[in-house]
């Protein structure tokens, strides 16, 4: 086990008041949960008590990620992310709305933060940009060129690629939740076999999608059709922990085994205060109703995919 992972486990044990040997195996092995998506300082620590099998059921989706992702809980249900460069020394972060929580992890891991990427202008995602810039003068803050975002220094357009260390970050414009919303698609160009990372903000959630605050059902349908063209093993990291509620809604319109299995797993994970990220694009195509509009048209009484998208969003808003 690498020293940095062991240190993370010890910190976690302290927070959880849980002996190291009682941690689930999936948290201990260096190739498992902690290595690929480390859990840092949960807001309300709880002891583990569910079966290991339920927790590890979906962790095999993390096979060969292009970078280590550290998941940092923020506010009530937000997630910020730290993406560690393959060199193990540098990192960038996504949506650091509470900068000091992000930076405490950066310091603990002895990393150098090189950049900030923000998915959209809403305060619970961009509200930390100015403070981050004050703490680290000159740090580039990337965001959509189509959106007025606090603290942004580098605007990017759809398709722009930023190279940081051994990683490439591609901006994909996904206008609907906000008209300038960006999705960030991260790859390691030196090894195309590695799993890409997809930071979706408030556009795609596990089992759901964001509200159409500035866009329409047509826009969200276009987004889903665009996203489904990416690699199916892409690891999806969304902006909020909404998974259980999303899947409960999904089960009201689609009682498939895939929805049921994922909901049982998500409920078990949340009972232990574990995050349900990441998912994969391939998984979302199985149980996310907003990615299955063609299949669900009849079930929601619509004859077109855009009609189904509109109806599903209306139903979810009332759920």
Residues with active-site annotation: 120, 122, 124-125, 177, 202, 240
Contacts of 240 (CB under 8 A, 6+ apart): 77, 78, 79, 202, 205
Inter-residue contact 86 to 55 (CB < 8 Å): no
Phi-psi region of 239 (alpha: psi -120 to 50; beta: other; left: phi over 0): alpha
Inter-residue contact 83 to 92 (CB < 8 Å): yes
C-alpha count within 13 angstroms, C-beta hemisphere, residue 266 = 21
Inter-residue contact 172 to 182 (CB < 8 Å): yes
Inter-residue contact 161 to 142 (CB < 8 Å): no
Contacts of 75 (CB under 8 A, 6+ apart): 97, 98, 124
C-alpha count within 13 angstroms, C-beta hemisphere, residue 248 = 7
Inter-residue contact 263 to 242 (CB < 8 Å): no
């Amino acid at each position: 086990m690498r020293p940095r992972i062991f240190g993370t486990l010890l910190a976690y044990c302290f927070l959880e008041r849980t002996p190291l040997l009682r941690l689930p195996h999936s948290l201990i092995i260096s190739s498992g949960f902690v290595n690929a998506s480390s859990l840092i300082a949960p807001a309300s620590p709880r002891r583990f008590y569910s079966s290991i099998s339920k927790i590890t059921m979906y962790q095999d989706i993390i096979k060969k990620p292009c970078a280590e992702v550290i998941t940092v809980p923020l506010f009530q249900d937000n997630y910020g992310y730290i993406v560690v460069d393959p060199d193990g020394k540098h990192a960038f972060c996504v949506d650091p709305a509470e900068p000091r929580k992000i930076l405490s992890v950066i310091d603990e891991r002895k990393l150098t933060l090189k950049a900030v990427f923000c998915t959209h202008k809403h305060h619970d995602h961009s509200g930390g940009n100015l403070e981050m810039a004050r703490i680290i003068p000159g740090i580039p803050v990337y965001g959509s060129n189509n959106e007025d975002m606090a603290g942004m220094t580098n605007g990017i357009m759809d398709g722009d690629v930023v190279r940081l260390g051994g990683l490439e970050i591609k901006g994909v414009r996904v206008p609907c939740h906000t008209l300038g919303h960006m999705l960030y698609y991260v790859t390691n160009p030196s090894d195309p076999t590695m799993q890409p990372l997809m930071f979706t903000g408030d556009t795609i959630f596990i089992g759901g999608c964001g509200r159409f605050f500035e866009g329409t059902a047509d826009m969200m349908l276009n987004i889903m059709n665009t996203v489904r063209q990416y690699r199916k093993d892409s690891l999806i990291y969304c902006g909020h922990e909404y998974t259980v509620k999303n899947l409960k809604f999904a089960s009201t319109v689609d009682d498939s085994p895939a929805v049921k299995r994922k909901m049982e797993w998500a409920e078990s994970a949340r009972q232990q205060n574990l995050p349900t990220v990441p998912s994969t694009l391939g998984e979302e195509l199985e149980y996310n109703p907003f990615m299955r509009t063609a299949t669900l048209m009849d079930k929601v009484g619509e004859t077109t995919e855009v009609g189904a998208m509109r109806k599903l969003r209306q139903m979810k808003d009332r759920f």
